Structure 1
Amino acid sequence: MGWGAWGKVARRTVLGGAAALAVGMALPAMAQTKLKVAGIYTVPIEQQWVSRIHLALKAAESRGEVEYVWAESVANTDYERVMRQYAEGGQQLIVGEVFGVERAARAVAKDYPKTAFLMGSSFPAQAPNFSVFDNFIQEPAYLTGMIAGAMTKSNVIGMVGGYPIPEVNRLMNAFMEGAKEINPKVKFMVSFIGSWFDPPKAKEAAFAMIDRGADVMYAERFGVSDAAKERKVLAIGNVINTQPQYPDTVVASALWHMEPSIDRAIAQVKAGSFKAEDYGPYSMMKVGGSSLAPLGTFEGKVPADVMGKVKQREQDLRDGKVTVKVNDGEPKSTM
């Protein structure tokens, strides 16, 4: 996710439930069974990043732990109003992403100190009730880079992102480092489309890179894998596993799992112990916050020696023996 304008998608809002008192940060453990949780999303819930939050909250709902309502495709200019509406309505935990509305969102949190907020953000947590998270999935991104470096025949990899912000940059940089470890000759083309949800624009950017020799595409945005499929080149997925939709195109994906973060926040609110903290570490592989997707249809097609290195690195990451450097700087083309 990140800064900038969002795609023009009709806004659908789900508001629900009778009003209930907001949970207090210093209150004792709650007596009620189900926690009232709201999600506020600036893009459709189908979008990669948001879909992972939504999936984790739906899982908690299916277990009977929460009553979950949400609003999607909320414009930045409307985000503060929706936050206040949910807080006034008695939602005890509000989850979302505030990259384009940091100042307004943090002001809302100050006005509702007894409501818990867990928000995607590039900035620190804000006491007492504004916790932050981010997609720190640079570890599996590095692993997918190792695979991409082995699969390219032209030694040219194309990379299409939304905006050059830390959430995107760190994954691209990790991917590039992984590819260079396996294939020092590899070159990269990098571009950003200035949108979080514009598949046609991402597709056109990918076509341009494929025309210039890229035979592996890093699909940070929807639309890139479509271009790769049409031109019969390979793609690497991001955040979600799209291989079922692109069985002959998507080799591997770095997956984000929001369950550790969401489950922790729910437990903290229910226990009356929620506080402002950074949930970033709960996206790491060793706690189940991210993973490398199974190769599926590409099982056996990646060189065995490379997969041996990938599996060893993956195990070392899970065991905490090695780390992947976090580089939030804007990645640059090397062609």
Structure 2
Amino acid sequence: MTNEFKGAVSRRQFLATSAAAALTAGAVAAPSRLMASEPLKVAGIYTVPVEQQWVSRIHVAALTAQDRGDISYTYSENTSNSDYSRVMREYAEQGYQLIIGEIFGVEAEAREVAAEYPDVAFLMGSSFKEDPAIPNLSVFDNYIQDASYLSGIIAGAMSKSGNIGMVGGFPIPEVNRLMHAFMAGAREMNPEMKFQVSFIGSWFDPPKAKETAFAMVENGADILYAERFGVSDAAKEKGLLAIGNVIDTQSDYPETVVASAIWHFEPTLDAAIAAVKGGSFTAADYGMYSFMKEGGCSLAPYGTFEGKIPQEALDLVASRTAAIKDGSFTVAINDEEPKSS
């Protein structure tokens, strides 16, 4: 184990190289007992309920792969950080060939477990890059800055006050990069746009998120960026608009949520399944599979807001989407903590 994981936590920089181009030395061999048509045994380990927005995208992708017959899938939810390593070992001992989850709070411990089971592939959400010394552990994150940028264009066009409130959980790269991309999109429509940015210090505290959003409304915000649950409730009560994140909540807030940046975990998981079955799974960063050009994110349908969004914004979204997909336009990745204007 390197000192990087034992010492103070330093946030990683995204690797621009494709996971598919990673070195295959030390790759997890394809299970000899696994026939081409036989489902891969996959286990998910989650620290929150599978309904939680971020984890729900991983869970949905796994269920989709299971429905196709590519994997057999089981999972543990609400796993505490203190139990995470134990659950990893249990699944590894039970013969699961691919274990997925999120190790943000147990980086060192999880990597130690992975090193103990070199024949098991681990695909884990992580704030660190892959470690070549642990070739059977790959990392990922939700790099959905492309879709966040597009949602910002919509918000910028819909705001009349030129003041947007943004409520997040924690100022970590996984949140910061999406906020920065959203802000950049909003400035495309209004270069003078003002932003109120606040973090509630929790991944799930709807009442606190709601109260924080109320304060932003009092300070002139007429659109709210809902990185956490509770913000859209505040917008609904005040008769304002909101922008969603990771999942599409418009069906719950049909008159409130204009647009949402959606994360699709399917490309990430499918790439890992193929690598394990092909015997080429090795330490790599799968973050690039969340990019729009890889099918990893999208802007949710406008639904009830069809015909209510300025055409100028729709045209820019369409042109930028095409440019993002063909590589002629790149949304910047900025992991630094965003600040209020």
Instruction: Return the offset for 1:206.
Output: 1.1
Secondary structure of 2:334's counterpart equals coil
Instruction: Return the offset for 1:28.
Output: 6.1
The 10-residue stretch of structure 1 (139-148 or 203-212) with the greater mean CA deviation from structure 2: 203-212
Structure 1 pair 28/80, CA: closer, same or farther in 2 (3 Å)? closer
Instruction: Describe how 1:16-31 pairs up with structure 2 within 5 A.
Output: 25-27=28-30, 30-31=34-35
The answer to whether residue 303 in structure 2 is matched with residue 296 in structure 1 is yes
Structure 1 pair 144/27, CA: closer, same or farther in 2 (3 Å)? closer
Alpha-carbon deviations, 1:245-303, whole Å to 9, x = none?
A: 11100000111100001111111111222111110110111111101111111111111
Q: What's the counterpart of residue 277 of structure 2?
A: 270
Q: Which runs of 5+ in 1 are unaligned?
A: 1-23
Q: What's the counterpart of residue 247 of structure 1?
A: 254
Instruction: Return the offset for 1:26.
Output: 2.6
Tell me how far apart the structure 1 counterparts of residues 30 and 249 of structure 2 sit (CA, whole Å): 43
Identity rate of aligned residues, in percent?
65
Instruction: Describe how 1:50-89 pairs up with structure 2 within 5 A.
Output: 50-89=55-94
Tell me how far apart the structure 1 counterparts of residues 137 and 219 of structure 2 sit (CA, whole Å): 45
Instruction: Describe how 1:148-159 pairs up with structure 2 within 5 A.
Output: 148-159=155-166
Q: Which amino acid aligns with 1:299?
A: E
Instruction: Describe how 1:1-335 pairs up with structure 2 within 5 A.
Output: 25-27=28-30, 30-31=34-35, 33-126=38-131, 127-334=134-341
Secondary structure of 1:164's counterpart equals coil
Alpha-carbon deviations, 1:146-202, whole Å to 9, x = none?
A: 111111111110111111000000000000111112111211111111111222221
Are the counterparts in 1 of residues 169 and 202 from structure 2 also a CA contact under 8 Å? yes
Are the counterparts in 2 of residues 216 and 234 from structure 1 also a CA contact under 8 Å? yes
Are the counterparts in 2 of residues 131 and 277 from structure 1 also a CA contact under 8 Å? yes
Alpha-carbon deviations, 1:125-162, whole Å to 9, x = none?
A: 12311100010000110111111111111111011111
Instruction: Return the offset for 1:35.
Output: 0.9
Secondary structure of 1:282's counterpart equals helix
TM-score w.r.t. length of structure 1: 0.91
Q: Which runs of 5+ in 2 are unaligned?
A: 1-26
Q: Which amino acid aligns with 2:57?
A: R
Tell me how far apart the structure 1 counterparts of residues 91 and 165 of structure 2 sit (CA, whole Å): 41
TM-score w.r.t. length of structure 2: 0.89
Q: Which amino acid aligns with 2:283?
A: A
Q: Which amino acid aligns with 1:37?
A: V
Q: Which amino acid aligns with 2:89?
A: R
Tell me how far apart the structure 1 counterparts of residues 112 and 207 of structure 2 sit (CA, whole Å): 36
**Segments ≥4 residues shifted beyond 3 Å:** none
Q: Which amino acid aligns with 1:64?
A: G
Secondary structure of 2:191's counterpart equals coil
Are the counterparts in 2 of residues 179 and 186 from structure 1 also a CA contact under 8 Å? yes
Instruction: Return the offset for 1:27.
Output: 4.2
Are the counterparts in 2 of residues 43 and 197 from structure 1 also a CA contact under 8 Å? no
Tell me how far apart the structure 2 counterparts of residues 275 and 145 of structure 1 sit (CA, whole Å): 36
Q: Which amino acid aligns with 1:175?
A: F
Are the counterparts in 1 of residues 29 and 276 from structure 2 also a CA contact under 8 Å? no
Q: Which amino acid aligns with 1:73?
A: N
Tell me how far apart the structure 2 counterparts of residues 138 and 167 of structure 1 sit (CA, whole Å): 10
Q: Which amino acid aligns with 2:103?
A: V
Are the counterparts in 2 of residues 144 and 175 from structure 1 also a CA contact under 8 Å? yes
Instruction: Return the offset for 1:101.
Output: 0.8
Are the counterparts in 1 of residues 30 and 277 from structure 2 also a CA contact under 8 Å? no
